[in-house]
Chains A and B, each alone.
Chain A
Amino acid sequence: GAVVSQHPSRVICKSGTSVKIECRSLDFQATTMFWYRQFPKKSLMLMATSNEGSKATYEQGVEKDKFLINHASLTLSTLTVTSAHPEDSSFYICSAQRETQYFGPGTRLLVL
């Protein structure tokens, strides 16, 4: 149990475009999901906490207008990177809360 999926696993996009990443809890309902990003050989960095039916809570320094989070159901949260730029290229990982956080496999974003 506690399977979390992410889609897509990899995405390449042009600078200035928007990219949507989906995070699904497949076998449990998650009121709370989290979005992280990780640069190569660096620690996980929490971007925001996503709560079903309410606005996401962003960590300090994370632009809420750039990283749009929607948690419309108990099994789905989405992260949209708007007007992506090369510096947004990173590994984006979601997690879903049950007795602890269970992580999705991650989405590798490359912005050209």
Chain B
Amino acid sequence: QKEVEQNSGPLSVPEGAIASLNCTYSDRGSQSFFWYRQYSGKSPELIMFIYSNGDKEDGRFTAQLNKASQYVSLLIRDSQPSDSATYLCAVPNSGGSNYKLTFGKGTLLTVNP
């Protein structure tokens, strides 16, 4: 059973701080990793993806991947109240062609003004 683990939170940070969201996965064969943001009452929205070890930056967001440790994280710099949402880590099933994603349970982030 492939697993994706996230701290459910809630994670509370003050406005302007760095929010750090973490995710571990069990399948060593996983090659790609996705972060989705889900606002309350809305559907998930893709915000970042990463395939290679190291860091990938996109605006205020940085995804970090360490395949040896089976760990992927999302850093949000200069956090804003509008970043308050649940962040889902997702890992595609490795092998096969069914494209299913295994989601973590999500981390609820609250950014306090």
Residues of A within 8 A of B (CB): 2, 32, 34, 43-44, 46, 49, 57, 91, 93, 97, 99-106
Contacts and interface: CB of A to CB of B under 8 A. Distances in A.
B100 interface: yes
Given A43-B103, A100-B49, A100-B92, A106 B43 contact: yes
A102 B105 contact: no
A101 B99 contact: yes
A74 B53 CA distance: 34
A100 B100 contact: no
Interface of B: 32, 34, 36, 41-46, 49, 88, 90, 92, 98-101, 103, 105-106
A46 B100 contact: yes
A44 B43 CA distance: 9
23 contacts: A2-B46, A32-B98, A32-B99, A43-B106, A44-B44, A44-B103, A46-B100, A49-B98, A57-B98, A93-B43, A93-B44, A97-B99, A99-B49, A100-B46, A100-B49, A100-B90, A100-B92, A101-B99, A102-B46, A103-B36, A103-B46, A104-B43, A105-B42
A43 B107 CA distance: 11
Most B CB within 10 A of own CB, among A44, A93, A103? A44
A88 B99 CA distance: 26
A105 B43 contact: yes
Contact of B45 (A32, A97, A103): A103
